[in-house]
Amino acid sequence: MAKKILLVDDDPDFVEAVSLILKSKKFDVVTAYNGIEGLNKVTSEKPDLIVLDVMMPEKDGYAVCKELKSNSQLSHIPVLLLTAVASHVPTTRYTQEMGLETEADDYLDKPVEPNVLVKRIESLLSK
């Protein structure tokens, strides 16, 4: 059975592009365009994994992640954060302060390279 992935990003073009990649890898994809919608979709769709953009209007990725992880019924769902930050600069505020605090299961810097994204998703799902 295909795994269901919830993709949350405020950029429709980006959502469309990533959806295409994930669908080509035989994932079920549901989408949301802001944090609040994303949280609603988590409850309604019960995805196996969430790909969550950090910078969004209304509720940003950190806040969404925090709510998810503080909810015992949802905290088991792995979250892959998409940041605009290079992961190899570990002392920056985003990664050091926010990324770690959010308890995201993994994070990936934008722009997203399709292969890397798929690999990370597969690796999170296999845990």
| Residues at the interface with another protein (CB under 8 A) | 9, 11, 13-14, 17-18, 20-21, 24, 55, 84-86, 89-93, 96, 109-115
Q: Closer CB to another protein, residue 29 or residue 112?
A: 112
Nearest approach in angstroms of CB 20 to another protein is 6
CB of 52 to another protein, least distance (A): 14
**CB-nearer residue toward another protein: 26 or 127:** 26
Contact by Cβ (8 Å): 49, 25 = no
> Distance of CA 90 to CAs 9, 47, 57, 102, 108, Å?
24, 29, 25, 15, 12
Cα distance between residue 80 and residue 75, in whole Å: 13
Q: Which is nearer to another protein, 65 or 82 (CB)?
A: 82
- Separation between Cα atoms, residue 56 and residue 38, nearest integer Å: 11
Which CB sits closer to another protein, 9 or 48?
A: 9
Strand partners, 50: 6, 79
Q: How far is the CB of 46 from another protein (least distance, A)?
A: 26
